[in-house]
Amino acid sequence: MGLPGFIFTFVLLLFDLFGTWRLQERLSYFVNAELLFLVVALSVWLVILLGLYHHKRWAWALNIILFSVSLANALWLYSLLGISLTLVLLLGIGAFGLVTSVVGLELYIPHEEDE
């Protein structure tokens, strides 16, 4: 998917992290655990974005894992906070990111080395 996949994943990442941060503000307990999740997710996603920018196949596989973890985190936030519009959007973004990552992995075509 190349550069469009990188840009699309970057936008989904921003929406996902913003939604998680917005829900984290409403937590009355487990705040430190959610902040730790946000820091770790942001760190891993920076590595993934670097891999997507350089057109690496492993970045799509890691993206699938991280969007799955993000969906699990959204469900955990649902169990603590209940339903909200932000949560519904976060679940939709996570599911859409997961699907696009699977499609990106399936459509991956390696670059030929220039000699």
Q: Can you read off the two tokens belonging to residue 106?
A: 């399936």
CA distance 113 to 64: 26
3-state helix, strand, coil in the chain (%, to 5): 80, 0, 20
Considering the domain boundaries, does residue 23 fall inside one?
Answer: yes
> 74 lies in a domain?
yes
- Distance from C-alpha of 41 to C-alpha of 103, rounded to nearest angstrom: 21
Direct distance between the N- and C-terminal alpha carbons of the chain, in angstroms, rounded to an integer: 23
Quote the pLDDT of residue 115: 41
Number of domains within the chain: 1
- Say what the pLDDT of residue 113 is: 54
pLDDT digits (tens, 9 = 90+) for 90-112: 999 999 999 999 998 888 877 65
In a domain, 115, yes or no: no
pLDDT digits (tens, 9 = 90+) for 39-73: 999 999 999 999 988 888 899 999 999 999 999 99
Q: Which domain holds residue 42?
A: 2-106
